[in-house]
Amino acid sequence: MPLLLPVLALFGFGPLGPIAGESCARRLPSCSFADVTFSGSFAAAFQSIFGVNIVFSILQSVAMGGAYGLGYLGWLVWLL
């Protein structure tokens, strides 16, 4: 578990929720719609493109220390 939290944070699953990114439009007011790029975490990009699914929910719950995600994590460790 101590190693898992930094790995989740690396992918953008933080203790307060997905680690946000920013778009080109937020950085540069002169940015056109065609220039919009996303420079943020994997979690924020995934959530903005695909929404929230069960895997995303479990990973975010583990990163936040929630019983829901930790229960699944314990089950997965038991299987291995």
pLDDT of residue 39: 58
pLDDT of residue 5: 82
The segments of the chain whose pLDDT lies below 70 read 1-2, 21-39
pLDDT of residue 1: 59
The residue to which tokens 């019983």 are assigned: 67
pLDDT of residue 71: 81
pLDDT of residue 36: 44
Strand partners, 23: 38
Report the C-alpha gap between 38 and 48 in whole angstroms.
Answer: 10
